[in-house]
Amino acid sequence: MKYSQFNSIIPYNNQFALYNAFEDKVIFLENDLKELLTAGKREGIDELEHIHPAFYKYLSENKFLVDNNVDEVDKVREVARKVDEQTSMFQLTINPTMNCNFKCWYCYEDHIKASRLKSSMVIKVNKFITKKLQDEFIKYFHVGFFGGEPLLYFKRNVIPIIDHLAAESKAFGKEFGINFTSNGYLVNQDFVDYFHSKDLTCNLQITLDGYREEHDKVRFVSKTKGSYFEIVNNIKLLIRNGFHVRLRINYTSENLKDTFKIIDDFSDVDLKYIKRNLIVDYHRVWQDDAVDDLDTVLNENMEIIKAKGFNVTGTFSANNVINSCYADKRNSAVINYNGDLYKCTARDFSSESRNGFIDSEGELIWDDGYVEKRMKSKLHNKPCLSCRIMPLCNGGCSQHAMENLDNEEGYCVYAFDETQKDKVIYAKVTDILKTA
């Protein structure tokens, strides 16, 4: 037997947590067992069978110890292949426009004022939707609207696609879903009434940039008018009317401290709507990303929010193999307003960066070999192959992998910092205890 590559031992509440990242299992050890296990790792793990047979047997049965001939990295690759190569769902993202009603300092996109889906492009997109819904392997078709701000031209450019999706899904007996990634400012009663009139609903991800004062420094209508209260009120309208909202808090070292106060502005909403239709989701702005102890402040805010009955998540509890990024999956595509194709929405949408285009018949024409190259890019990064949190991290996403194909030294999304990896393990152990 051998000690699993994916084991970690971290201090946890006056004990030591032994966690396996592939099995997602934890056991708690007193110091004497921890020292015994550490010695076994150093001197040969099979010696532990003679010293403490019951402990050795337990570790083996729960796969903290694995057979010598097991290729643990290949096991992760196999799981990743099954997830990313699934054929029953297609995820399409559409940018109706690259224009936006705000200009946030951290936004990586060019705001092109004249950009919008032309009627000819809507026809192409709808042809593609019909073709995919006719595919016998597709059981579920998901359309997400991104941008830019996708609600800028909702009636003219978005509704024709949703109407087509709903009608064709019914005709071919397929399930479908709709979501918007929006700043939330343009949500109104007309938006709600449209979905209700069609007996449809959708999910929305709506962002805030910290609590009121911090948010209004970033997202404002004018020098004297912010957007915080309008967005909060629009979220209330949505969740009271059955729409599911992921309230994404874009946090930095400057704006995180008081974010727990945001939920006080939802005190007039019945908790049943909060629990059913709202989740608070913290994400650090990538330009502010650094190796620091800001997670302590994050956890303090999250605990306050949880105590008041809200659903809340953070970014340290990774699960990026089983829940890989949409862009990692073969059955996904991003169509820009001008017909350019991409796989990822977290980079710019310049024509120079495009990966293909949609033709007049609604076919996706990818650059030669691009999709295959992307599908094969993950889990070949040398540092990942010996990493203890590989089954959680996944080496980041395929975008990270593609951007580092020529990096001979390799890369690490946690900056090769073992302390940051321990924080990931701590979050996973905490998750397990919450559901125990």
Kindly write down the DSSP assignment for every residue of 165-184, as one continuous string. HHHHHHHHT-EEEEEEEE-S
The last residue of a domain, from among 40, 70, 100: 70
Structural domain span for residue 34: 1-70
Mean pLDDT of 61-85: 97
User: What pLDDT sits at residue 368?
Assistant: 92
Beta bridge partners of 140: 89, 175
Q: Is the pLDDT of residue 26 over 90?
A: yes
User: What pLDDT sits at residue 314?
Assistant: 82
Q: Say whether both 119 and 166 belong to one domain.
A: yes
Is 381 among the domain residues? no
Q: Say whether both 45 and 163 belong to one domain.
A: no
Beta bridge partners of 143: 92, 178
The last residue of a domain, from among 46, 70, 94: 70
Mean pLDDT of 400-410: 92
Q: Say whether both 65 and 113 belong to one domain.
A: no
- Structural contact between residues 128 and 362, judged by C-beta atoms closer than 8 angstroms: yes
- Location of structure tokens 């009636």: 155
Mean pLDDT of 80-103: 91
Is 411 among the domain residues? no
The last residue of a domain, from among 70, 96, 120: 70
| 14 CB neighbour count, 10 Å cutoff | 8
pLDDT in tens, 190-209: 999 999 999 999 999 999 99
| 109 CB neighbour count, 10 Å cutoff | 19
User: What pLDDT sits at residue 106?
Assistant: 57
Q: Say whether both 257 and 275 belong to one domain.
A: yes
Q: Say whether both 95 and 167 belong to one domain.
A: yes
Is 384 among the domain residues? no
- Structural contact between residues 172 and 188, judged by C-beta atoms closer than 8 angstroms: no
Is 429 among the domain residues? no
Instruction: Give CA angle at 403 (398, 406), nearest 5°.
Output: 120
CATH number for the domain including 319? 3.20.20.70
User: What pLDDT sits at residue 292?
Assistant: 67
Is 372 among the domain residues? no
In 3D space, the residue among 198, 265, 263, 270 whose CA is nearest the CA of residue 240 turns out to be 270
Q: Say whether both 218 and 183 belong to one domain.
A: yes
Where do the H-state alpha helices sit in 278-315?
Answer: 294-307
Cα atoms in the 13 Å half-sphere on the side-chain side of 256: 21
| 248 CB neighbour count, 10 Å cutoff | 17
Banded model confidence at residue 6, pLDDT cuts 50, 70, 90: very high
Q: Say whether both 122 and 56 belong to one domain.
A: no
Amino acid making up residue 87: T
Q: Both tokens of residue 362?
A: 């609604």
Query: Taking all residues of the chain, what is their mean pLDDT, rounded to a whole number?
Result: 93
Q: Is the pLDDT of residue 418 over 60?
A: yes
Is 391 among the domain residues? no
User: What pLDDT sits at residue 286?
Assistant: 67
Q: Is the pLDDT of residue 115 over 90?
A: no
Provide the sign of the torsion angle of the four alpha carbons 108, 113, 119, 121, taken in this order.
Answer: negative
Give dist(CA 436, CA 425) in Å, integer: 17
Q: Say whether both 120 and 41 belong to one domain.
A: no
Beta bridge partners of 391: none
Q: Say whether both 14 and 64 belong to one domain.
A: yes
Q: Is the pLDDT of residue 422 over 80?
A: yes
pLDDT in tens, 263-297: 999 999 999 999 999 999 999 886 666 656 788 89
Is 287 among the domain residues? yes
- Location of structure tokens 């092109």: 112
Burial class (CB in 10 A: 0-12, 13-18, 19+), 10: middle
User: What pLDDT sits at residue 147?
Assistant: 86
Banded model confidence at residue 231, pLDDT cuts 50, 70, 90: very high
Q: Count up the domains in the chain and report the number.
A: 2
Radius of gyration from C-alpha coordinates of the chain: 24
Q: Is the pLDDT of residue 41 over 60?
A: yes
Phi, psi (deg, nearest 5) at residue 15: -130, -170
User: What pLDDT sits at residue 225?
Assistant: 86
User: What pLDDT sits at residue 290?
Assistant: 63
User: What pLDDT sits at residue 289?
Assistant: 66
Where do the H-state alpha helices sit in 149-292?
Answer: 159-172, 189-197, 212-218, 228-240, 271-277
Is 2 among the domain residues? yes
| Residues 6+ positions from 192 with CB-CB distance below 8 Å | 237, 238, 241, 243
Q: Say whether both 302 and 214 belong to one domain.
A: yes
Q: Say whether both 224 and 314 belong to one domain.
A: yes
Question: Residue 370: helix, strand or coil by DSSP?
Answer: helix
Q: Is residue 137 left, alpha or beta, with left meaning phi > 0 and alpha meaning psi from -120 to 50?
A: alpha
Mean pLDDT of 361-382: 95
Q: Say whether both 45 and 107 belong to one domain.
A: no
Share of the chain above pLDDT 70, in %: 95
